[in-house]
A = this chain, B = another copy of it.
Amino acid sequence: MAHPSIILINPQMGENIGGAARAMLNCGLDDLNIVNPRDGWPNERADAMSSGALEKMPPVGVYSNTAEAIADCHYVYATTARPRDMVKPVFTAEEATNDMAARIANGQKCAVLFGGERAGLDNDDVARAHAIITIPLNPDFTSLNLAQAVLLVSYEFSKHIDSLRPQNIDVEPASAEDMNNLFLRLENALDEKGFFHNKHRQSATMRNIKNMISRAELTDQEVRTYHGIISMLIKNDS
């Protein structure tokens, strides 16, 4: 699957461009573009903060204005911290990446715009976008930095990348027969040691013990471990 372009408009600190690149590549995205970076490009601080991401990615696209940067895009999302008086769909990062994944599957090229550190996107750039992404944050503390905002959007998009979907770990659960053998072994051992002094409670007590042990959904290996524990515990001290 193709990925969205991430476009940083007027970014100031190279550290944040590098941090954004690192966050993107962590999440499997590698189409980074910058418009009018304050300190020029390339940027040593960006390289250092990217932890190698900028070297592994295709070259960053550098543009002098937003129109050029989005020229070949079909659908553009603007990230904003505060609402703007513009009538556009407003998405959370999760909703936006659902929408984006569907558009990309249909062959559209999508881009996400992020504004500079000081003031975010200006209204002209927001107006160019088809939709707005607002990340709901604690209203008393909203200082999300640029690289973190890029991380959250990239992370939400990564949920749509098949190769990044979590795999179930492959654990072989113990069979019912193995569990039954374990319980018989334990019951015999307890019985021999005189555990069931109240004989008519034996089956109820064992039911509780079985419940307690099976709730852990033991593996084969763990059943063997249990057998080992029982073997050790019943040994008579010599």
Interface residues of A (CB under 8 A from B): 22-23, 25-28, 51-53, 56, 83, 87, 90, 92, 94, 134-145, 148, 151-152, 155, 158-159, 163-166, 168-169, 171, 217-219, 222
Q: Is the interface of A mostly helix, strand, loop or mixed?
A: loop
**New A-B pairs, 15, CB < 8 Å, besides A26-B143, A56-B141:** A23-B148, A26-B144, A26-B148, A27-B137, A51-B143, A52-B141, A53-B143, A56-B140, A90-B166, A90-B169, A135-B155, A137-B158, A139-B163, A151-B151, A152-B155
**Integer count of this chain's copies in the complex:** 2
Is there contact, CB below 8 Å, between A164 and B138?
A: yes
Residues of B within 8 A of A148 (CB): 23, 26, 148, 151
Q: CA–CA, A59 to B206, complex, Å?
A: 48
Q: A136-B164, A136-B165, A166-B136 are in contact. Are A141 and B25 (CB under 8 A)?
A: yes
